[in-house]
Amino acid sequence: MIATGPRATVQDLGRPGHAALGVGVAGAADAGSLRLANRAVGNPEGAAAIEAEFGGLRVRVRAPGGLFAAVTGAPAPLTVDGRAEAPYSVLHVPDGAELRMGAPPSGLRSYLAVRGGVDVPPVLGSRSADTLAALGPDPLGPGTVLPVGPPPDGVPLLGVLPVAPPPAGDVELGVVPGPRADWFTRDALHGLFTGEYEVTSEIDRVGMRLSGPRLARAEKGELPSEGTVAGALQVPPSGLPVLFLADHPLTGGYPVIGVVASADLGRAAQARPGQRLRFRPRPAPFLGAGPDDAEERA
Amino acid sequence: MRILPNGDAAILVELPDLDAMLGLYAALAADPPPGVADLVPAARTLTLLLGPGARPADVARAVRDARPGAAAPVGGAVTVPVVYDGADLGEVAELTGLSPAEVVAAHTGTPWRVAFTGFAPGFGYLTGGDPRLNVPRRETPRVRVPAGSVGLAGRFSGAYPVESPGGWRLIGRTDAPLWDLRRDPPALLRPGAEVRFVRAGGPA
């Protein structure tokens, strides 16, 4: 690693299954883009790759015969020893060559996968850096050396990957109301789904602070801490929501008014400061009904 | 029990109290419904994270049909030795109307139980201790709380596995290995476990 942008980390699909230890899932903020980059170079979908925010990456490859690589997510302009290469396609980086990633014209997080995957030692079954829990590999910086695993059985894809870059304008995201939508006024829910929320400069892998219509609470009590999920729109006393991303805390004590649909979470993670988000209601999954549910409604 | 959607990939189960939560947690941890990727215990809720193959309605039915486990303490009681020389011990004594020695006696006199985890890897929220120790958290959190610090906040007690910011009132410190990645499992305190604090120093 010769240089990085504001933040670059190793990510895979995270470490679910350890909540009892106080450990969250983490993993790529835009998991779809990670999967795609891995498929492109013939890796298993969950292999570890580099998640780079705002580009800025400079990497020198040291591998006999060079390395196959692919960049997805934010379409950062690429050069290999000064020669322009396209994102969303498989490129070959010769031994000793420098791969440079410029600033992406849209989107926030680029995924650089190499054939064989980043082979740092796993922690609790994952190579993901959890920046909140300080678990997994340290964030990357100049001088970091990342080992690459043996080539997988899969073959690299040829041609350009069929994928659209993250939008540069407004971003529409589906949101399932709840689990604590009933803690808010009707006006708040209306405001959430009709207003626009701007992504502030306070963004990291834990979440992004949004500015827009304040969401007023109807229920003034204290919520005992409960489990939170990536995509949750948690509303602190300010009334301005925080959209949780991959490294969100396991539990939180502020009510969650809605949760971004899992299919839209990657696009949420690609929104950058100044971009506007519009939330659209999505139906909750059907969960059936138990006797107590009816009682609660009565 | 009430089952609420938490987005399209998780469900939140509300339970009447901590015992009911730990009972359901024990049952589901022993026999997880198909497609459930993780269980997140909290004060009186249990969140089920759904993997790609999970069918939410089937998982909800499995939750309704689960017979609560005995919420048996996990792996027997854990003993945590504490040197009671915390920076807030005097303040806790003032807030509770006890002497520092009585605070120590109260903290060590009743077994605690790990209700749930979170905040940091290996951090357990302990409940069930002496109710006189219910003190509010500090108005201004500390930027740095040393690893091993033992504190109180509301009806909870806990010990910081790693140095971090924190707002709990610190009454002592422990050298118990709260978090060790070379150990399986790395966390000493896990939901359901009984915890006994013993005095290793400080006012008696």
Q: Does B162 touch chain A (CB under 8 A)?
A: yes
Q: Which of B8, B44, B191 sits opposite A285 (nearest CB)?
A: B8
Answer with the residue of higher pLDDT: A29 or B155: A29
- List all residues of chain B from 67 to 126 with a beta carbon under 8 Å from chain A: 116-125
Cα A176 to Cα A225: distance, rounded to the nearest angstrom: 20
Asked if A17 and B37 come within 8 Å (Cβ–Cβ), the reply is yes
Q: Does A23 touch chain B (CB under 8 A)?
A: yes
Answer with the residue of higher pLDDT: A220 or A23: A23
With b for 16 or more beta-carbon neighbours within 10 A and e for fewer, the A153-187 pattern comes to: eeebbeeebeeebbeeeebebbbbbbbbbebbeee
- List all residues of chain A from 213 to 242 with a beta carbon under 8 Å from chain B: 224-229, 231-232
Chain A to chain B Cβ contacts (< 8 Å): 145
Q: What is the pTM of this model?
A: 0.92
Residues in chain B with CB shorter than 8 Å from the CB of A25 are 37-38, 49
Asked if B45 and A226 come within 8 Å (Cβ–Cβ), the reply is yes
Q: Which of B9, B42, B120 sits opposite A133 (nearest CB)?
A: B120
- Pairing outcome for strands A78-80 and A83-85: antiparallel
- Do B186 and A21 touch, CB atoms closer than 8 A? yes
Asked if B121 and A22 come within 8 Å (Cβ–Cβ), the reply is yes
- The one-letter amino acid code at A150 reads P
Confidence of residue A294 (pLDDT cuts 50, 70, 90): very low
pLDDT for B118 equals: 85
- List all residues of chain B from 47 to 66 with a beta carbon under 8 Å from chain A: 47, 49, 51, 56-57, 60-61, 64
Average pLDDT over residues A268-293: 90
pLDDT reading at A219 higher than 90: no
Cα B59 to Cα B33: distance, rounded to the nearest angstrom: 6
pLDDT reading at A31 higher than 80: yes
pLDDT for A35 equals: 96
Q: A35-53 pLDDT, tens per residue? A: 999 999 999 999 999 999 9
Asked if B7 and A232 come within 8 Å (Cβ–Cβ), the reply is yes
pLDDT for B129 equals: 94
Instruction: Name the CATH architecture for the domain at B78-201.
Output: Beta Barrel (2.40)
Q: Which of B11, B57, B190 sits opposite A20 (nearest CB)?
A: B190
The CATH number of B2-65, from 3.30.450.20, 3.30.1360.40, 3.40.50.1010, 3.40.1190.20, is 3.30.1360.40
Confidence of residue A298 (pLDDT cuts 50, 70, 90): very low
- Do A294 and A97 touch, CB atoms closer than 8 A? no
Three-state DSSP class for A210? strand
Cα A97 to Cα A93: distance, rounded to the nearest angstrom: 6
Average pLDDT over residues A52-57: 97
With b for 16 or more beta-carbon neighbours within 10 A and e for fewer, the B6-40 pattern comes to: bbbbbbbbbbeebebbbbbbbbbbeebbebbbbbb
- Name the DSSP class of A21: G
B2-65 matches B78-201 in fold: no
Cα A251 to Cα B38: distance, rounded to the nearest angstrom: 13
Q: Does B156 touch chain A (CB under 8 A)?
A: no
pLDDT for A295 equals: 46
Q: Which of A16, A18, A287 sits opposite B60 (nearest CB)?
A: A287
Q: Which of A17, A259, A288 sits opposite B38 (nearest CB)?
A: A17
Q: How many other C-beta atoms can be found within 10 angstroms of the C-beta atom of residue A289? A: 12
Would you say the ipTM is above 0.90?
yes
pLDDT reading at A157 higher than 90: no
Residues in chain A with CB shorter than 8 Å from the CB of B60 are 287-288, 290
Q: How close does chain B come to A43, measured CA to CA in Å?
A: 20
Confidence of residue A291 (pLDDT cuts 50, 70, 90): low
Cα A133 to Cα B119: distance, rounded to the nearest angstrom: 8
CA distances from A196 to A72, A167, B12, B111 (A): 28, 16, 28, 50
Q: A111-154 pLDDT, tens per residue? A: 999 999 999 999 999 999 999 999 999 999 999 999 999 999 98
Going A113 to A117 to A122 to A126, the CA torsion angle's sign is: positive
Q: Does A153 touch chain B (CB under 8 A)?
A: no
pLDDT reading at A236 higher than 70: yes
pLDDT for A269 equals: 98
In Å, how far from its chain's centre is CA B198?
18
Where are chain B's structural domains? 2-65, 78-201
Concatenate the DSSP letters of all residues of A94-140 into one string.
Answer: -TT-EEEE---SS-SEEEEEETT-B-PPPBTTB---BTTTTBSSPPP
Cα A109 to Cα B90: distance, rounded to the nearest angstrom: 49
Residues in chain B with CB shorter than 8 Å from the CB of A290 are 1-3, 60, 64
Q: Encode chain B (204 residues) as per-residue pLDDT tens digits.
A: 999 999 999 999 999 998 899 999 999 999 999 999 999 999 899 999 999 889 999 999 999 999 887 655 556 789 999 999 999 999 999 999 999 999 999 999 999 999 999 888 999 999 999 999 999 988 888 989 999 999 999 989 999 999 988 899 999 999 999 999 999 999 999 998 999 999 999 998
Cα B101 to Cα B94: distance, rounded to the nearest angstrom: 12
Q: How close does chain B come to A38, measured CA to CA in Å?
A: 18
Q: A86-113 pLDDT, tens per residue? A: 889 999 999 999 999 999 999 999 999 9
pLDDT for A296 equals: 45
- List all residues of chain B from 11 to 50 with a beta carbon under 8 Å from chain A: 11-12, 29, 37-47, 49
H/E stretch holding A290 reads: none
A21: number of CA atoms within 13 Å, CB side? 22
CA distances from A54 to A25, A109, B68 (A): 23, 6, 48
Three-state DSSP class for B148? coil
pLDDT reading at A34 higher than 80: yes
Q: Does A250 touch chain B (CB under 8 A)?
A: yes
pLDDT for B52 equals: 86
